[in-house]
Amino acid sequence: MSAPKRYTITAALPYTNGPIHIGHLAGVYVPADIYARYLRLIGKDVAYISGSDEHGAAIPMRAKKEGVSPQVIIDKYHKIIKQSFVDFGISFDNYSRTSSKIHHETASAFFTKMYNDGEFIEEVSAQLYDAEANQFLADRFVVGTCPKCGFEESYGDQCESCGTSHNATDLINPKSAITGNIPTVKETKHWFLPLDKHEDFLRKWILEGHKKDWKPNVYGQVKSWLEDGLRPRAVTRDLDWGIPVPLKEADGKVLYVWFDAPIGYISATKEWAAREGKNWEDYWKKDDTKLVHFIGKDNIVFHCIIFPAMLKAHGDYILPDNVPANEFLNLEGNKLSTSKNWAVWLHEYLEEFPNQQDVLRYTLTANAPESKDNDFTWKDFQAKNNNELVAIFGNFINRVVVLTNKYYDGIVPAPNDFSEIDEDVLAAVKEFPNTIGKSIERYRFREASQELMNLARLGNKYLADEEPWKVIKLDEKRVQTIMYVALQISAALAVVSEPFLPFTSNKLKTILNIDASLSWKNVTENAVLLPTTHQINKAELLFSKIEDQEIEAQIEKLQATKIANEQENKVITPQKETIEFEDFTKLDIRVGTILEAEKVAKTKKLLKLKVDVGIDTRTIVSGISESFSPEEIIGLQVSVLINLAPRKIKGVESQGMILMTDTPDGKLAFVAPEKVVKNGQEVN
């Protein structure tokens, strides 16, 4: 596409069945926000759109669990989610919701037009049915084994393990998620979108048309689906929560949430356009509009296959120019999970790190899961803050502002002759908007954020090399020039940091007393950003150091979650078969004292122990090295099964076995007498 006239940027509609966490921000909302803010800064016409998805089957499920109506659930989480976006500076032009009237009307009309044009297939088919719940089972109401990868907890519409999208009847061994019953089958009529009919168009449009500009992870997934062949997908459901199917014969049926949700982007645009006095159709139907969908990888099939097929079948609509889906973000090595509370919740983060939204935005961008799954760790978060934001960006700005106030009462000094270094630095600064912009336009936000930090690095190095605090004693004229150059770099940083660090950018603009209208282009094209005699304000810290104990507290919090989850999941082994007293007396268990302990070479788990068991001192090999260091167990009394037949373990003969049990955090504990007793004492 040659220079688009306007941009429609959509960010995935979050389900209102829980608050949002760092995975959502990293995967979708921060990159989309950087993109939207950047485009506005270069003067583009942008509609940045999202909203709450309030018709997911997960919502009535959650409502049932909490014993309230679905409306209570969506109202509660819509409010929390919307506030989190405001708090983190996600600059939506409109954040709507799919329970709104305008959306119900838009989605119904969309269906009706397709229906009238004969774009659906009607089919009476056998569907899974839970007689006890009196309900058909689809999507999240049914779990079973994925026919593709064998994952046993796959949902009816999509497997969370391999990402395959399928029909509920494809599941092997399906079970109702409501009652746990094995479903029966019952006939029901539904409307299907014949995706197979659109296969040729999709192949041509994506496989031929977007081979070069779509991300390899997105292109690869789409290609594999197309190669598997597409099948008709039902766009209606037997449910009482959702948008009623606008047909007389469809009583008690609603539109499938994945049919209505993406239309939510259109309704949200309509709502915004009406408010702003714009024409929404320009943003969805004109060829010179660039449509970009920001999503996580679990949504690729819907945004690259199903929604485009809908748009094409409906007619009049443009197709997405790109779908820069991200991979997943993990947290401290484990998959983020709402149900397991394995997450950093945005509202909690702000309570614990008040006013530090930009630190999280920066960390999540610098470590974004753009091409593969990535890990968020608190240590890395601390390092990015302390070593980059504080030590480079913050340190540079603070020095510039403090010195300008100290030497010149906050007035930008007139420069004298520029040295070659000054000229080079000023020229280099002018290149940054272009470099950063190019990365953003290619959806390489990590790279872009590193370039932003490189600009701060350039400034920091310039000051460190030129040392105005030393030169001031020798050559006051030279210091005027140095400070003038440093102030220009600071102003450039205030502008180009805006997409990434909007709160910091604002603060910095206030400190430098910069006109908010200073644009991206100005950094490259203006001869000066901060003219001589311009008055700046007093210094204020942009970032502050995050201490070790703050990070340790976060890690402990996660550790506590892990222990709670493990306890909840702990299965108590059922009782073994009954034995006679005689069987027990065969076991010769004695109390002994550990005299020596050392690691068995080339093993992770094994310790070689010397234990005094009263009768003798013997060697025992025990798999306890991951729970104990050798030093900490010397002198401990333990229980030992001494008449176990000796056996060689890793070349060492073990003459007995130490009795152990498991602790809730997955470590081992000794089973030992409560008081000190004589070695060799029997346990019976």
Between residues 159 and 178, which has the closer beta carbon with respect to Zn ion?
A: 159
CB of 160 to Zn ion, least distance (A): 8
State which of positions 151-170 bind Zn ion (CB under 5 A): 151, 159, 161-162, 164
CB of 522 to Zn ion, least distance (A): 51
Q: Which amino acid is at 470?
A: K
Instruction: Please give the Cα distance from 552 to 558 (Å, whole number).
Output: 10
Cβ contacts of 269 within 8 Å, gap of 6 or more? 8, 47, 49, 94, 280, 283, 284
Whether 338 contacts 200, CB under 8 Å: no
Q: Which amino acid is at 387?
A: N
CB of 62 to Zn ion, least distance (A): 24
3-state helix, strand, coil in the chain (%, to 5): 45, 20, 35
State which of positions 476-515 bind Zn ion (CB under 5 A): none
Between residues 228 and 467, which has the closer beta carbon with respect to Zn ion?
A: 228
Q: Which amino acid is at 135?
A: Q
Between residues 128 and 146, which has the closer beta carbon with respect to Zn ion?
A: 146
Whether 590 contacts 683, CB under 8 Å: yes
172 binds Zn ion (CB under 5 A): no
Sign of CA dihedral 153, 158, 163, 165: positive
Between residues 161 and 337, which has the closer beta carbon with respect to Zn ion?
A: 161
Q: Kindly determine how many residues on this chain lie close enough to bind Zn ion according to the rule CB under 5 A.
A: 8
Between residues 115 and 151, which has the closer beta carbon with respect to Zn ion?
A: 151
Between residues 149 and 402, which has the closer beta carbon with respect to Zn ion?
A: 149
Instruction: Kindly write out the interface string for residues 117-156 of this chain, putting x where it contacts Zn ion by CB under 5 A and - elsewhere.
Output: -----------------------------x-xx-x-----
Q: Which two tokens stand for residue 295?
A: 């999503």
CB of 166 to Zn ion, least distance (A): 8
Cβ contacts of 287 within 8 Å, gap of 6 or more? 318
State which of positions 67-86 bind Zn ion (CB under 5 A): none
Q: Which two tokens stand for residue 112?
A: 């009706």
Instruction: Please give the Cα distance from 510 to 399 (Å, whole number).
Output: 16
Instruction: Please give the Cα distance from 6 to 40 (Å, whole number).
Output: 10
Between residues 161 and 398, which has the closer beta carbon with respect to Zn ion?
A: 161
Instruction: Please give the Cα distance from 513 to 405 (Å, whole number).
Output: 13
Between residues 164 and 382, which has the closer beta carbon with respect to Zn ion?
A: 164
DSSP annotation of 67: T
Whole-Å CA distances, 17 to 56, 76, 329, 663: 8, 9, 20, 34
CB of 158 to Zn ion, least distance (A): 9
Within 474-570, residue ranges assigned H as helices are 476-496, 502-512, 520-525, 548-569
CB of 337 to Zn ion, least distance (A): 17
Between residues 77 and 155, which has the closer beta carbon with respect to Zn ion?
A: 155
CB of 148 to Zn ion, least distance (A): 5
CB of 171 to Zn ion, least distance (A): 10
CB of 189 to Zn ion, least distance (A): 28
Residues of the shown chain interacting with Zn ion in the complex, contacts defined by CB under 5 A = 146, 148-149, 151, 159, 161-162, 164
